[in-house]
Structure 1
């Protein structure tokens, strides 16, 4: 994003807004992953302890999410590079 047309105070305000949006987006994403993995993996409420099966399920769930996020990030980077460097 080209902020050169804004003065320093406006640039600082824009940067603060972008950072706040990124934090909010991350927190929403984190909450969604926790909720999804909990619903998928927490089945036995007869004990306070997390069972080995539940722990393994949470690990797989989190790994799937991280792999998915990595693939999406790579695709966005690829698209961004293509948009910034169009072929002649």
Structure 2
């Protein structure tokens, strides 16, 4: 069974959501890690901090998404069980 194509409006919304997340991550890591504005290049410590910040944010976001999916599946199973129970009564 083929998955339906996303509408242009859905694609635009998805892209906007991506940009919001990207900008949030950029601002968060920049504010936490960049402190020296006397040079154009990053210091090694700033570079390492930004990489750690990004990786931690992405891992956390992935874990939250995974847990949300697990809870959603559990809720769906509970609703199905309830519907079957009430249908049999």
Q: What TM-score range do you get, normalising by the shorter chain?
A: 0.7 to 0.9
Structure 2 residue corresponding to 1:81, chosen from 70, 73, 79: 73
Structure 2 equivalent of residue 26 of structure 1: 18
Structure 1 equivalent of residue 55 of structure 2: 63
Residue 18 of structure 1, CA deviation: 2.5
**Which protein is bigger by CA-based radius of gyration?**
2
Residue 15 of structure 1, CA deviation: 3.2
Q: 1:82 & 1:22 partners in 2: Cα distance?
A: 26
Structure 2 residue corresponding to 1:42, chosen from 34, 37, 42: 34
User: Which runs of no fewer than 5 residues in structure 1 stay unpaired?
Assistant: 1-10
TM-score normalised by structure 2 residue count = 0.74
RMSD: 2.0
User: Which runs of no fewer than 5 residues in structure 2 stay unpaired?
Assistant: 82-89
